[in-house]
Every structure is written in structure tokens, then in C-alpha cells.
Chain A
Amino acid sequence: MAARRVRDVALYLVFIAVIMVLPLFVEDYALNQVARFLVYGILGVAIALSWGYAGILNLGQGLFFGLGAYMMAMSLKLASNTSLQQGSDKPVPDFMLWNAEPGAKTDLCCISKASFLWIPFQSQWFGLAMAIVVPVAIAALAGSIMFRNRISGVFVSIMTLAMVLLVRLLIIDAQPVTNGFNGLTDLGFFKIGDFVLDNYGLPLYYIVAAVLALTLLLTRLLVETRAGLILQATREDANRCLYLGFDVPMYQTFFFCVSAAIAGVAGLLYANVAQFASPTFMDLSFSISMVVWAAVGGRNSLLGACLGAILIHLLEDAMSKTPALVESWKAIIGLVFVLSVLFMPKGIAGLASDFGDFLARRLPRPRRTGLTADPPQVARESKS
């Protein structure tokens, strides 16, 4: 077991080192692309936590990602130059002008019915905070209702699916406040003091990479705590856990919220990297493709899901360069997905782990005397 942990730590460190060193080899557009992939990687970690560790198949993860992106984008929109050119000395988003109530003052307080909701977003740090607080709040509410009522399995999935579709509908409908279908575009940059985070620049890339590294490490530490172990026990058999006296709904809700927070962070980073937020973030197909990334990479492995997300996007990017393959990309990903669910249920990480075990067994081991026995080889279903 110790060997396995050492191996995992080593893999994490190698991965982190790679993403930190990458800017030496790529720049500008390609760096921005990699930053986007890293954000998807963070999403992969969120899914692995929720699905692999907690056993909650969240088909609406796009909800938390999208909300995080929107909260951040609202602040960034108010910071953009065009918002200051709308005929008022306070920033007003341009789309509000053409959705304005007739005769309304050009000010956030009153230009349309709910535009006052934008006022606190003039502070970027407020937007950043909301990007985490709002998804967590919704997850806490939804989670406590779902898990206290002992809803499980496919019903949780259907509920999360209904939730993401509902919020997507509401956002598109609230055009005066959210710009509806077009989403929030033409954003400014995040400013730390005088320092501007250009989305093609190095500082933003390093922030994304650092956040991904921290997310991986902290989540990994989290699942190794007592709470994390209990969570994995609930995934295996929730009833048994209940009978053993654990407050299963509380653990499930807590980790559901952590997963939502991670997705929210991914969303706010994405708004910075891609410079827009759109209701398409809450499309059903996007939410389900997140699950695909985790399935291919390894749902039980945080690093695996992260790598799965990055790998699939790298593949997609490579294939979009050839015209014939562009058309068949979706078919290929469908095939990959079916094959991986059928034959590789633990994903690439599972394959790698099995291969690693296979190698480890082949390596010569130092002979032990009878004094310290080898730890019993318990068949572990899940990889930490």
C-alpha cells in the first residue's frame, strides 16, 4: 500500500512539474489552449470526486461550472471598456441598453427590472467569491433535499439533469439581465492591484496551473481523511454505513458541495481564460461529456479524470486539423466511450494502475524474515 501511495505522489508531482514547465515550450495562442484544457482538467477532478468517490452521478455538473463562469463574467463585463462607454459614468453592460425599460435611467439600479442585481459585481472580488458561493449554496440546498430523502442512484442523476436544464432555461429567458442566448461577451480582464490578467499572458496560465495543482493535492488529501474514507464506504453500501451509525446524507451533501465548489472555480477560471460565459455551458451534452472524460480517464482517480479531460481535448484538437476526421470526431468519441465503458470501467488510470501492479509483482522483492510479515494483499477495487 505504501508503495502505491508513493507511486501516486510521484505521478502527481510529475504532472504538476510538466504543467509548470510547459510555458517554456508554448506561448500565446497555444498557451491559452492549454490553459483551457487545464480548466477542463479541474472539472474532471470535480466529477471524479462526486462520481468516483461519492457515487453520485451528477449529470448536471455544467450547472455549477456555468454559474461560476457567469458570476465571474458579470464582474469582468462591468470592468470592460465598452461598459464605460454607454453614456453613463458608471459601468453599464451594453446589452442592457437595448433591453432597457423605456425611459429608464442608464444606471445599474434601474435600467431594467432586475439589473440592480449587478450592482455588487462592480467589485471583482465579489464576483470571484460569488462564483464559489452560489454553486455551493445551490449544491447544499439540492444535496440536503436529495440525500435527506434518501434519493439515490439514477434518481439523483435525473434530478441534477432537470436542474441544469431548468437553470439554463431561466438564464436564456432572463434576457435583460443575462443577455440570454448570446451570453456575456466582450469582457474586461481581472485586475490584481494594477496588474492585469491578460488571457494570453503567462500570469493567468500560472494561476490556472497552480489552482489545478492545489485542487488535485487538496482533494486527494481530503479523500484520505476519515471523512473521505466514510464517503467511499457510503458509495459501496449506503445502508450498511447508516446502520453503522454514520450520518450518510451529511457526508454526501458535504462532498457534493465540495465538488460544486471545484466546478465553480473551474467556471470562474474559464471565464477569465476564454473571456466569455454562455448558456451553452449548461447544455446537457456538455455536462454528459464531462462524465465521459472522467469515465475514459478513470472515474475513481482524481489525476486520471483530470488527464482524461485533457487527453480527450488534445485529441479533438488534433483531429480538427484534418477535414475527414473533423466530421467523424463525434462518432469516434462515441465509439471510444462505449468501448471504455464496456472494457475499461476503471478508465485509463485503472489500466495504468493494473499495469503498475503487474510490473510491481514481477520485480524482485527483498526477502523478509518471519518477524515482519507482508501486509495481506487485500484486493482493492478502488484506486485511491
Chain B
Amino acid sequence: MSVNRRSFLKTTAGGVAAVAGAPLFSRTALAADTIDVGVLFSLTGGLSIIEKSLSDATLMAIAEINASGGVMGKQIHAISEDGASDPKTYNEKASKLVIQDKLATVFGSYTSASRKAVLPVFEKRNAMYFYPTYYEGYECSRNVVYTGAVPNQQLSNFIPWIIKTLGKKTFFIVGSNYIYPREMAKVCKILIEKNGAKWVADEYLELGDSEWGSMVNKIKNSGADVVLSNVVGDSVVAFYREFKNQGFTHDKLPICATVTSEIEIAAMGAEYAAGSYTSFPYFQAIDTPENKSFIERYRTYVKDPHAVTHHALCSAYFQVFLWKQAVEKAKATTADAIREGVRGQEFLSPGGAVKIEPENLHTWLTPRIAQWQPDGQGKIVDAYPAPIFPLPYSAYGETESNLFCTPKGVDPSKLKG
């Protein structure tokens, strides 16, 4: 059979990508002078509005790395696939990238549904998935590097700030009907109660539904003085519009959102969002030279002088550099090498310094709060001085001294306690 020839080719051509003690299913890139990575986002379908920008940011990072010499002297070759805004397709394409193309690294996903649909592929075949989007936590996979915010990085600054600085004490929590807003609501409730305020409602609207009449009416009658919005997607625009149309103003009853980003603000019209707040680790309005240069380069790359940048986009960008540093440190491109190499990696991203937490492969990010201005830009009204520890299980009592997610995996006994 051709086993002998195959293994001969492997050892000579794949010399640099030495497989030191890797388990049976580890895959290495065989080509001698390029390193192949996968890029898996929705380029078509309803989610492509956001995911295309994530794909562009990833490809821009790859182009920049290649322009400055590549990784370990080799150029990066990106294999791009379309998730088509459908978890079924995500699952298929992930299988293709990992099993057929034998890639050890894939950058991708925006929704939790798509991440969950592809996770088994990466875990069963031992490849690494770099996930750039803020999500609900409650995951601890050794095959995923999470570079987006987890609830404690968006809410543990937000809620106390709303209570102390804005002086609001009665919360109306509203979100879209699926797991991310529901988990965020859990964390919200814990933080609200811990800080001495109260919440009067926890309501949900179907994803994609834009009929907000009844919900806003409920807000009016609830006696709340602040709305905590975990609403996602195109519903956001209709929500803010309905809110203003029913006579609310953001100075009396502000909408404090965790998902409303520059993209939704541009679509709804700045006058509807003016005065409201959002909490993200990254805003386009961050006034640093790194960020200004990043926005310039991004706009040039996508040939759109009005393109906006947002949190997930920034993460999609810097996670490629973190991967590069991991590969260079481990001097290999296997999944195990990357996993070990990426622990503790630091980078100066457009949103400030970031670091991969060695224990749980999540990212240290700097929580910020911005208020949207009448011109459509955010104004940073609060920012932590330094990045904070990512705690994917903070809703269940995880703290820095009592970690639930460690390199050994998640400890289920802690989840019940």
C-alpha cells in the first residue's frame, strides 16, 4: 500500500510541523511553503450583514501578516467557506475544513447556534476554532479560543455603573428569545440584586420579530426607569424606533444595551439612539492611534469610506495575530501546539491590550461603556483602566479564586453548588 510513501512524504515535507506526541487524530498542514487556515463566516443569508465584516477583518489581518513576512517565514493561505446563516451549512463546512482540508485552525462563527453546531467537529477531530464574538459563556472547550466578551466583561461594569452613576434602580430586562439573551438576563439579575436595585420584568421577543408595540407598552406600564436590552439583530432597529415613537426619551428612561453596535445605530438613524448606552470592550469611537489607524486600514481594505467597526470585528482581527504568536512560540501548527502556545499570549489590539487567559482560553478585555451621540458616534463615558479576567461561568458563582473552567475541562460539581 502507499502507507510507506505517505509517511515518507509527511516526514520530509512536513518537517517543520513536527508532530510531537500528538494524539492520533491531530492534523497538520502538509504544504511546505504555506500555512493553511480556515475562515468560516456567513457570506450569504440574513446574518451576512454582520458576518461578512468579520470575514473581511480576518482576511485583512491575514493579508497584513503575510505582507510583513508571514508566520515562521511562510505565507498564510486562507480557505474561506460560507456558513450561509444556517447551522446545518456551518456544520457541513466545518467538517469539510477540518476533515477534508485537514486544517488545524479555523476562524469563525458569530451566533452561538453556529458555534454549537460546529463544536463537535473540532472536539472529535482535535482542531482549534477561534471564535471572535461576545457570547453567553457556559462553555469551556479545549478546542475553542474565545476572543469575544463573556457576560462578566459586559455586565459587571455596566450594571453597577447604571445604578450608581445614572441613579436608576428599577430594571426592565428585554431580549430576543434564545440562549444568549437568556443567559445575559441571568447575570443581569444577579448583579442587579447584588448592587441593591430591583428588576421588574424579564421579557423576550422572537428573533427577527419587529412588532414592538406591546412590549414597549409593557415597559411604559411597568414603572421601570431603565431598560436593559439584550435584543439582537434586526429587531433592534424597530425597537429603538418604537421606543421613541411611543414618547420615551433616553434621558428619563434610557435603553442600556449589550448588543446594539455601530451597525444598528447606522441603520436606525442616530436620532433614535441618541442618549442611549451600550457596553462593549471595543467601540469605533475609541480615541487611540492604534484604533484610528485600524479604522483607516479597514476602510481601505473593504473599499468603503463609511464602513463601521465594532467589537466582534476587532476581535476577529486581533485573534489572527494571537494565533500567529502562538504558532511562533510553539514552532508548530498542530492543534495541541497552538493550544499551548496561545495560553497567555498578549497583543495590543485596536481596543487596547488583550491577553488570552491560560486557564480557560478566554480573553482579558477592557470593559467600556459608550453613550450614543446625535451624530451617530459613541462617546466613551466609562472605561476600566485595564483588562479584566474572563469568567464564562460568572452567572453560576465562578470567581477568579474559584474557577469552574480549567485546562482539565469544566467541573460539573461546581455548577450545581
A residues whose Cβ falls under 8 Å from a Cβ of B:
28-30, 32-33, 36, 85-87, 97-98, 106, 169, 172-173, 175, 179-183, 185-187, 200, 274-276, 278, 280-281, 320, 323, 326-327, 329-330
Decide: A274 and B96 in contact? CB cutoff 8 A.
no
A32 cross-chain contacts in B, Cβ below 8 A: 95, 99
CA distance A180 to B91 in the complex (A): 18
In the assembled complex, the CB of B294 is this many whole angstroms from the nearest CB of chain A, namely: 25
B375 within 8 A of A: no
Q: A29 to B183, Cβ gap below 8 A?
A: no
Q: Is B398 an interface residue (CB 8 A)?
A: no
Question: Roughly how many angstroms separate A28 CA and B81 CA in the complex, as a whole number?
Answer: 19
- Per the 8 Å Cβ criterion, residues 166-183 of B in contact with A are 177-179, 182-183
Q: Is B234 an interface residue (CB 8 A)?
A: no
Q: Is the interface of B mostly helix, strand, loop or mixed?
A: helix
Out of B93, B116, B120, which one reaches A183, CB within 8 Å?
B116
Cα separation A85 to B410 with both chains bound (whole Å): 10
What residues of chain B lie closer than 8 Å to A330, measured between beta carbons? 44
B80, B91, B206, B416, most chain A CB atoms within 10 A: B416
Q: Can you pick out 29 interface pairs between chain A and chain B where the beta carbons lie within 8 Å of each other?
A: A28-B99, A29-B99, A33-B92, A85-B412, A87-B413, A87-B415, A97-B415, A97-B416, A98-B138, A98-B183, A172-B177, A172-B206, A175-B178, A182-B117, A182-B178, A183-B117, A185-B116, A185-B120, A186-B116, A276-B116, A276-B120, A278-B87, A278-B113, A278-B117, A280-B86, A320-B82, A326-B43, A329-B44, A330-B44
Could you tell me if A87 and B416 are in contact, using CB atoms closer than 8 angstroms? Answer: yes
B81 touches A106 (CB 8 A): no
A85 to B86, CA, bound (A): 29
Q: Is B88 an interface residue (CB 8 A)?
A: yes
| Nearest-neighbor residue (CB-CB) of A270 within chain B | B88
Which of the residues A97, A173, A182, A274 comes within 8 Å of B91, measured between beta carbons?
Answer: A274
B286 at the interface (CB under 8 A from A): no
A97 and B413 CA atoms in complex are apart in Å by: 11
Given contact pairs A30-B100, A181-B179, A275 touches B120 in the complex (Cβ within 8 A): yes
Closest to B98 in A: A29
If over half of A's interface residues share one DSSP class (helix, strand or loop), that class is named, otherwise mixed; here it is helix
> What separation, in Å, do the CA atoms of A29 and B27 have in the docked complex?
14
Instruction: Give the residue of B95, B100, B179 whose beta carbon is less than 8 angstroms from that of A182.
Output: B179
Q: Is B207 among interface residues, defined by CB-CB distance under 8 A?
A: yes
15 new A-B contacts, CB < 8 A, other than A28-B100, A180-B179, are A28-B99, A36-B92, A87-B415, A87-B416, A97-B412, A98-B396, A98-B415, A181-B113, A183-B87, A183-B113, A185-B119, A274-B91, A276-B117, A320-B93, A327-B43
CB proximity to A under 8 Å, residues B146-187: 177-179, 182-183
Are B206 and A186 interface neighbours, CB within 8 A?
Answer: no
Residues of B within 8 A of A (CB): 43-44, 80-82, 86-88, 91-93, 95-96, 99-100, 112-113, 116-117, 119-120, 138, 177-179, 182-183, 206-207, 396, 412-413, 415-416
Least CB distance, A139 to chain B, in whole angstroms: 23
Rounded to whole Å, the gap between the CB of B43 and the closest CB of chain A is 6
Using Cβ atoms and an 8 Å threshold, which residues of chain B touch A280? 86-88, 113
Chain B residues whose C-beta falls within 8 Å of the C-beta of A200 in the assembled complex: 99
